[in-house]
Structure 1
């Protein structure tokens, strides 16, 4: 049996990934603060294993406890393959350096970088003990490779996630495992994160007008389109471990 663990599965890209995986007859473990009932209903319709776990990804102790429990539950079922989607992310704080508050800085780094590292570490360790193949997919951003005024923390966290992806993949290759680790930049999607960006101030975020235009001109990608491009890549076996993919590479 194949299992997908998806953080931030209650909405947006995470929801779209979860629904597509269920359509592919892959069992789903959803991780988010709130549960998406549509995902549960779809799993029941498909007759597939589904479990939801609530977790605050900004609290490392909670992340460690919840994902150790998830790993214990899934590995007991002797899975053939595990797809780990580190999808959850936060954009805040949107502010210039010198005007940042400590709490949102720490939360951003915890959710966007530390949680994916902790989670991937748990599953690669367990996978190594059982021989289960793990496919880790880290959702990154174009902001990882482009400096954006007002996004210093988010840019830094995503840049760190890219480097973690590349380094971990290098290690797995050296150990000659079957595991794959990739990063995926989903582009500019029509999600709650975009709403947060559009509600920021021009003083804090210099490119605000550009992002308002994306919405006004209907240039935002649908989460389902972005998810399908990613899942096609992951399931067809062509993904190159250590590579950072962008949605524009996959949607022609």
Structure 2
């Protein structure tokens, strides 16, 4: 493999928070980056000679995003990149409420963005790169809430639990292939993002755990998006990446 070729990394939710931090760090280390988000971010800039594309797509329409990805990858020469990685980072928490008080449309949107789109993007990415002959990885950003139930969080917990389990299935699929991708669904820890603001600002009558999230912030227990991105990308670079298809960055 020619070592002067750039690695290719595709990141969903790359316009803000931890996704933005990962995209910035990847660009700084020489990766070609495709950011997929609802909005472009002018703070995300490629260094001189670097490759950056910001696709403004709504992941609630995962099928269209997957087709855009498949078409773009199919148009690339197989020898353009040293490796190919997909990071499914985007997610959304619908208005916080018990399931009985939740809006069906908001529930559907959360599941489309948090579960359906990652599956569709994985399928498109793996199919389009299978003949490239380069190392490939899929990193799905999960959550501890995919492994622990919480009141008023049914949609988010279900999306992340589904992500964990489809990643297990995907790992079995890829293990049967001569050059299968390595895959992992990784919980990134508790990070100081807009999602945390939403959780600790919720009505305690609707969200019994609001005090716990407020205490995490007050006690300085939240990881910055930049530090979280560093830890996640270090995990991605581990030689044993994918050995465990479901993992937690805090288990190091």
Kindly indicate whether the alpha-carbon contact (under 8 Å) linking 2:37 and 2:55 is maintained by their aligned counterparts in 1.
Answer: yes
Match among 69, 88, 91 for residue 89 of structure 1: 91
Structure 1 unaligned regions, length at least 5 = none
Q: Which residue of 1 aligns with 2:26?
A: 21
Shift of the 75–120 alpha-carbon distance from structure 1 to 2, 3 Å rule, reads: farther
Q: Which residue of 2 aligns with 1:187?
A: 189
1:35-93, CA deviations, whole angstroms, 9 ceiling, x for partnerless residues? Answer: 122222xx134x21111101100013432333224323445663231111000000114
**How many angstroms does 1:130 deviate by?**
2.8
Over the aligned positions, Cα root-mean-square deviation in angstroms equals: 1.7
Kindly indicate whether the alpha-carbon contact (under 8 Å) linking 1:169 and 1:242 is maintained by their aligned counterparts in 2.
Answer: no
**How many angstroms does 1:124 deviate by?**
0.7
1-side partners of 2:130 and 2:237: how far apart? 21
1-side partners of 2:34 and 2:9: how far apart? 6
Match among 231, 239, 242 for residue 241 of structure 2: 239
* Within-5 A mapping of 1:100-179: 100-179=102-181
**How many angstroms does 1:7 deviate by?**
0.5
Matched, 1:201 2:203: yes
* Within-5 A mapping of 1:64-79: 64-75=66-77, 78-79=80-81
**How many angstroms does 1:180 deviate by?**
0.6
Q: How many residues align?
A: 247
TM normalised by structure 1 equals 0.92
Structure 2 unaligned regions, length at least 5 = 1-5
**How many angstroms does 1:223 deviate by?**
1.2
Shift of the 227–73 alpha-carbon distance from structure 1 to 2, 3 Å rule, reads: farther
Q: Which residue of 1 aligns with 2:36?
A: 31
2-side partners of 1:60 and 1:222: how far apart? 29
